[in-house]
Structure 1
């Protein structure tokens, strides 16, 4: 990335079902959900959102091998998206197993995201 413009952060949780991708996508959506960048297009090369660069960093507590990177990338609506996954986040108890929700145990997955935007 030549010019970093914004860094947005978020947290996503899968309380039931132990789905690391679901928690990661929620973290990204939490990071970008409350933001608007109306001037970004005017500073991008060729004034095109296709030239926006988005670097996603995810701190995940477990199941890195089960993370669906394509689903993660689809959570970002514009730009050239890269994803970096690292150890972090939190694995804790939900306090209850609800089999109807897909639980195989009582673990709650918490993922932390950083979304860097620039060109």
Structure 2
């Protein structure tokens, strides 16, 4: 990406499923849900949304290899989307003890997202 026009951030949580994709999709939704980009086309090459580049940075606590990158990309309606994964976020107890998992608690996964938009 040559030029970042703006960055949006968000947080997503999967409380009981331990699904890093679900938490990541929610983080991206949180980042872009309340934003509007009027006039962004004027700042893009050839003034076309197809020329927009979006880099989604996700801070995942666990299960990096289980992330469905295509589901995350599908959250972005325009442009060319890339996904970058970094260690971070949080895995913490939801307070529910699961008998079938011996001494483990049911973890909630918390993912942070930064959505960079530019060209």
Let me know the Cα RMSD of the aligned residues: 1.4
Structure showing the higher strand proportion among its residues:
2
Partner of 1:43: 43
Structure 1 residues 97 and 14, CA gap change in structure 2 (3 angstroms)? farther
Structure 1 CA distance for aligned equivalents of residues 71 and 43 of structure 2: 28
Using the size of structure 1 for normalisation, the TM-score is 0.91
How many residues are treated as equivalent by the alignment?
114
Structure 2 CA distance for aligned equivalents of residues 32 and 57 of structure 1: 13
Partner of 2:60: 60
Q: Is the 8 A contact 2:95 2:105 kept in 1?
A: no
Partner of 2:101: none
Using the size of structure 2 for normalisation, the TM-score is 0.91
Structure 2 CA distance for aligned equivalents of residues 2 and 106 of structure 1: 42
Structure 1 CA distance for aligned equivalents of residues 44 and 89 of structure 2: 32
Any runs of at least 4 consecutive aligned residues in structure 1 with deviations exceeding 6 A, and if so which? none
Q: Is the 8 A contact 2:58 2:84 kept in 1?
A: yes
Gaps of 5+ in 1: 99-103
